[in-house]
Amino acid sequence: MIKITSLDTYQDLKKAGEGFICIKDNTRINKVHSVSCRWINIRNLKKKIIENSCKQGEYFYSLDYQKLHLTFNAIACRNCSKVKEIKEWCT
* β-bridge mates for residue 35, sequence order: none
pLDDT of residue 68: 95
Q: What is the pLDDT of residues 43-75, one digit of tens each?
A: 888 877 777 777 778 899 999 999 999 999 999
Residue 56 one-letter amino acid: Q
* β-bridge mates for residue 31, sequence order: 23, 75
H helices of 17-90, where? 42-45, 65-72, 84-90
Instruction: Round to whole Å and give the CA distance between 54 and 89.
Output: 29
pLDDT of residue 40: 86
Length of the chain: 91
The domains of the chain are located at 2-90
Instruction: Round to whole Å and give the CA distance between 10 and 25.
Output: 17
* β-bridge mates for residue 57, sequence order: 25
